[in-house]
DNA sequence: GTCTATATGTTGATAGAC
DNA sequence: GTCTATCAACATATAGAC
């Protein structure tokens, strides 16, 4: 909505990165390193080789610029996961839990592996996007990931016929939990450079956990018993 | 180490909260709401009914004050969990995975339930402590929680004889993953007020996941196969 | 020990020249 | 469209009176 009318010198057909594009790229990179409050307009615009005024001209505010950058980067991954999930559901009327969980988790690893070559843009970025507690980021995260989560729940319900919807929802949430930790524990969180286990380990963990929830719905719904049954 | 020598008017035997105590309390509360960069000395000292100078007099810097507050709040929980883990190990030479995971997770829920009455001090706090990517917070988190994690790994190794240490370590990491999400998803993360499933659901999920890792060490060590075996 | 006042730097956003 | 110069507000930290 900004490159509509009066952009005579920068609205090329897509050849060289103009100022707006450079700003988005720099925003992503610096946000990935420092989070929202840890990233200043000055740092971003300096990294983009322009000025604060240019950024405010194109986006209006710091938050708007961040939102644009986050959506730009997160939605392709978003679509990748939705496609994978729909493919699993379309391929089998009753897919395995592993297949569904794999469709949910694998694209994240693929994108991380792909962006590992072009610097660490995408590494910390996913962690920041998932973990930043700032309200604006949290809102974007919800907007972008809620369709995926819904798609995941639908696929999971297919894989687990007869299981309650709240159990399915809990399984989805805990899948995200594992995903978040995976994504954060390699770069942003503890400063540790832990070894990265293969994707299948995480899929096996999550699938077994979800099956445990499905097999014991009593624990999911309400469990006042078994306090100290040692 | 600050109330040792020259504190004639505020080092009471523990009756009324002095300035230092009020500062720690306010630091915890505001940090729980806004994170590290989102919490200023001005806001903290104003909430504590004192001035920035007093805070710097007692703690020296913003980061030092935060560190003191974090340790003050996190270490009791820390000890609770270590005790529970040691009790499980002492009670049975080969405890169940559920018992070990329960000892790891339950104290967190207990502390959250206990602090739910005294305002939302402890609710967001755990989430912030676990999720804040700031270096100083991350360092404290590591210092405080590493002993617990080590204790948990030891107990888990008891419950899973013959399982590789890296598999055990992965199980511990993913337990923390679930814990983080549980703790963050009720207040700080998405702004959603999701229903809180019982503790046993999380224990069942984690225990089953860990067993899956233990039963298939092939996936934990290295898994170059099974790319698209659909 | 605690305060007021201040030093020094940074932030996000804007005004106006070009 | 992009820049330089600037604003007002905020940050952490310190100096010195009391």
Domain membership of residue B2 (yes or no) is no
The pLDDT of residue A80: 93
* Residue A133 to residues A180, A193, B72, B109, Cα–Cα distance (Å): 13, 23, 23, 21
The pLDDT of residue B16: 58
Whether the predicted pLDDT of B18 surpasses 50: yes
Lowest mean pLDDT among A20-29, A202-211, B172-181, B221-230: B221-230
**Mean predicted lDDT score pLDDT of chain A:** 83
% of residues, chain A, pLDDT over 90: 55
A123: pLDDT confidence band, cut at 50, 70 and 90? low
Whether the predicted pLDDT of A219 surpasses 70: no
**Mean predicted lDDT score pLDDT of chain B:** 83
Taking the C-alpha atoms of residue B35 and residue B20, their distance in angstroms, rounded to an integer, is 20
Q: Quick one: tokens of B203? A: 């224990």
Of residues A99 and B137, more confidently modeled: A99
Residue numbers of A between 27 and 86 with CB closer than 8 Å to B: 35, 37-38
Instruction: Quickly list DSSP for B40-58.
Output: -HHHHHHHTTS-HHHHHHH
B176 touches chain A (CB under 8 A): yes
pLDDT, mean of residues B170-199: 75
Domain membership of residue B50 (yes or no) is no
- Of B90, B204, B80, which is closest to residue A226 (Cα–Cα)? B204
Domain membership of residue A135 (yes or no) is yes
The pLDDT of residue A197: 83
Domain membership of residue A213 (yes or no) is yes
Find which nucleotide's C1' atom is closest to A65's CA: C12
Of residues A147 and A184, more confidently modeled: A147
Domain membership of residue A6 (yes or no) is no
Q: What domain range includes position B160? A: 62-222
- Of A80, A199, A208, A90, which is closest to residue A148 (Cα–Cα)? A80
Contact across the interface for A200 and B170, Cβ inside 8 Å: no
Contact across the interface for A223 and B201, Cβ inside 8 Å: yes
pLDDT, mean of residues A197-212: 95
A188: pLDDT confidence band, cut at 50, 70 and 90? very low
What residues have CB less than 8 Å from B138, skipping those under 6 apart? Answer: A189, A190, A191, B132
The pLDDT of residue A111: 83
* Strand D bases contacted by the protein (CB, 7 Å): 1-5, 10-16
Is A36's CB less than 7 Å from nucleic acid strand C? no
The pLDDT of residue A121: 63
Domain membership of residue B78 (yes or no) is yes
Whether the predicted pLDDT of B176 surpasses 60: yes
Residues of A in contact with B222 (CB under 8 A): 198
* Strand C bases contacted by the protein (CB, 7 Å): 1-5, 10-16
Kindly report the nearest CA distance between residue B210 and chain A, in angstroms.
6
From the DSSP assignment, how many helices (H) and strands (E) are in chain B?
A: 10, 0
Find which nucleotide's C1' atom is closest to A55's CA: D2
Kindly report the nearest CA distance between residue A71 and chain B, in angstroms.
16
Residue in B180, B198, B219 nearest the CB of A204: B219
pLDDT in tens, A73-96: 888 888 999 999 999 999 999 999
Measured between CA atoms, the residue of chain B closest to residue A213 is B205
What residues have CB less than 8 Å from B39, skipping those under 6 apart? Answer: B27, B30, B31, B33, B66
What residues have CB less than 8 Å from A89, skipping those under 6 apart? Answer: A95, A100, A154, A155, A158
Find which nucleotide's C1' atom is closest to A62's CA: C12
Which of the listed ranges A71-80, A120-129, B205-214 does the model predict with the highest average pLDDT?
B205-214
% of residues, chain B, pLDDT over 90: 55
Domain membership of residue B140 (yes or no) is yes
pLDDT, mean of residues B131-148: 86
Backbone angles phi, psi at A120, to 5 degrees: -100, 35
Whether the predicted pLDDT of B203 surpasses 70: yes
Whether the predicted pLDDT of B167 surpasses 50: yes
Lowest mean pLDDT among A3-17, B5-19, B21-35, B128-142: A3-17
Taking the C-alpha atoms of residue B119 and residue A46, their distance in angstroms, rounded to an integer, is 43
Domain membership of residue A196 (yes or no) is yes
Whether the predicted pLDDT of B227 surpasses 90: no
Cα A146 to the chain's mean position, in Å? 10
Whether the predicted pLDDT of B191 surpasses 80: no
B113 touches chain A (CB under 8 A): no
Residue in A99, A190, A224 nearest the CB of B141: A190
Whether the predicted pLDDT of A163 surpasses 50: yes
Q: Mutation test of the interface with chain B: which of A30, A146, A160, A197, choosing the one with the most B Cβ atoms within 10 A? A: A197
pLDDT, mean of residues B75-87: 93
Residues of B in contact with A62 (CB under 8 A): none
Residue numbers of B between 184 and 213 with CB closer than 8 Å to A: 184-185, 188-192, 194-195, 197-213
The pLDDT of residue B183: 76
Is B58's CB less than 7 Å from nucleic acid strand C? yes
- Of A190, B133, B19, which is closest to residue B27 (Cα–Cα)? B19
Whether the predicted pLDDT of A3 surpasses 60: no
For residue A167, give the CATH number of its domain: 1.10.357.10
The CB density around residue A3, as the number of other CB atoms within 10 Å, is 11
Tally of domains within chain A: 1
Residue in A135, A171, A201 nearest the CB of B213: A201
Whether the predicted pLDDT of B151 surpasses 90: yes
């Amino acid at each position: 909505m900004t490159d509509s009318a009066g952009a005579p010198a920068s609205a090329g057909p897509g050849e060289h990165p103009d100022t707006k594009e450079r700003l988005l790229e720099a925003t992503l990179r610096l946000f990935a390193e420092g989070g929202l409050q840890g990233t200043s307009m000055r740092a971003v615009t300096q990294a983009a080789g322009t000025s604060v005024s240019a950024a405010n001209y194109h986006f209006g505010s710091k938050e708007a610029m961040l939102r644009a950058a986050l959506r730009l980067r997160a939605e392709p991954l978003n679509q990748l996961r939705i496609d994978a999930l729909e493919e699993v559901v379309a391929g089998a009327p009753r897919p395995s839990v592993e297949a569904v969980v794999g469709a949910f988790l694998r694209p994240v690893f693929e994108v991380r592996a792909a962006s590992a070559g072009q610097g660490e843009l995408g590494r910390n970025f996913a962690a920041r996007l998932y973990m930043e507690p700032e309200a604006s980021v949290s809102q974007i995260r919800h907007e972008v990931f809620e369709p995926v989560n819904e798609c995941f729940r639908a696929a999971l319900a297919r894989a687990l016929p007869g299981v309650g919807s709240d159990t399915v929802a809990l399984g989805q949430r805990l899948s995200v939990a594992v995903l978040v930790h995976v994504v954060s524990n390699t770069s942003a969180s503890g400063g540790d450079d832990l070894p990265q286990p293969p994707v299948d380990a995480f899929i096996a963990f999550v699938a077994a956990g979800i099956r445990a929830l499905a097999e014991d719905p009593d624990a999911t719904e309400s469990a006042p018993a078994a306090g100290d049954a040692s």
